[in-house]
Amino acid sequence: MQIVVDDDQYSTISDAYLRKVLPAIVRSLIATDLVSFDPHKITETDINIVYRICFTVFANIEDMGGFNNNGRRFVAHLAFAGEPVDPAQLIMSWKRVALHGRLDDEIIIEAIKAAAV
């Protein structure tokens, strides 16, 4: 398997990934009955709830501080495979803000509206 470090390609793929995952997170929140989003009247509170949860998750995935396991330090790296079964290559980037750095009001509003459908 080949590992390809390509910031431009990773940026495009991670943007598509973010736009797929955010509505899934919003749907999960809605299913808990802890929140209720009106896609026709999205409030600042709605945006902040989604932002805080998603920022925490994605920033931790992209955190270079790593974590310890059995006395060894590990760092999580998100990689994408073009072919999910026995991929020939993994596409990665060393830029650590591809996901949490893209979270803004516009993409969160888009996710809330998509989840409400």
Residue of 61 and 16 predicted with greater confidence: 16
Q: What is the pLDDT of residue 94?
A: 84
Give CA–CA dist 111/99, Å, rounded. 14
Q: What percent of the chain has pLDDT over 70?
A: 100
- Determine the structural domain holding residue 101 and report its residue range: 2-115
Would you say residue 63 has pLDDT above 90? Answer: no
How many domains does the chain fold into?
1
Would you say residue 96 has pLDDT above 80? Answer: no
**Bridge partners (DSSP) listed for residue 71:** none
Q: Residue 49 to residues 35, 45, 78, 99: CA-CA distances in angstroms?
A: 9, 6, 24, 17
pTM comes to: 0.82
pLDDT digit string, tens, across residues 7-25: 999 999 999 999 999 999 9
From 50, 3, 62, select the one nearest 24 (Cα to Cα). Answer: 50
Q: Which helix (H) or strand (E) holds 23?
A: helix 7-31
